[in-house]
Amino acid sequence: MPRYKLTIEYDGAPFAGWQRQDNAPSVQEELEKAAQKLDQSTVTVQGAGRTDSGVHALGQVAHIDLTKDLAEDKVRDALNYHLKPNPVAVLEAERVSDEFHARFSATQRHYLYRIIDRRVPLTLDRGQVWRVPRALDASAMHKAAQFLVGTHDFTTFRDAQCQAESPVKSIDKVAVARYGEEVQLTIEARSFLHRQVRSITGSLVEVGFGKWSPQDFKAALDAADRSRCGPVAPPDGLYLTAVDYPADAGTSA
């Protein structure tokens, strides 16, 4: 059965997350419906990561096995046809070897969190960013964020429902920068805990408001205590932007 790697973009607002659920719409389910119409068979979509309800993606990755051997452009275009009118698009379909696995072959995941600090309500960016009504100090947020780099016990920024075996994770790179009225946090790691990025972002906003100093943020991290986490940021501004794979994972991506 030919295997295809899919690079996917979606607006997470109408969905209860990536993962298929019994009584709520999901991105995975809509992709599986589209793939089954294309292949006339039962198709399982394996994703690189399980984004939460309302979280968006610019570069989610998944793979599917089809019974039909189709051209890559045909797979992409047919899936997009059957996905309508859902706000989900397959950006690329790439034929890969059976050794490639969207989740287990991944070496790095990249996330972006967008914040706009203005009092005026959002119009065009509504549902796509987190609006906060006060000015943020992006430089202080960036300084605090550097304490995250490396391997730590991230219990403070771990959701109570997280099913990971350990709260210890490694963050490879994180940055906070301002672009006009928008403040962007970018973060890279092999894997993340449940709602880790949103928990981190909410606490960094406390730094941006001047409620916490960068050292307060470090103390909260070092405490490894969930009660020390600041308010959790909403899903609106979070995007899975890319997933990396080694060249020998059955794909050149």
What residues act catalytically?
Answer: 52
Distances (CA, A) of 213 to 32, 135, 193, 205: 46, 15, 24, 11
CA distance 74 to 190: 31
CA distance 199 to 197: 5
Which residue, among 114, 240, 234, 236, has the nearest Cα to 181 in the 3D structure? 114
CA distance 87 to 67: 26
* E strand or H helix at 47: strand 46-47
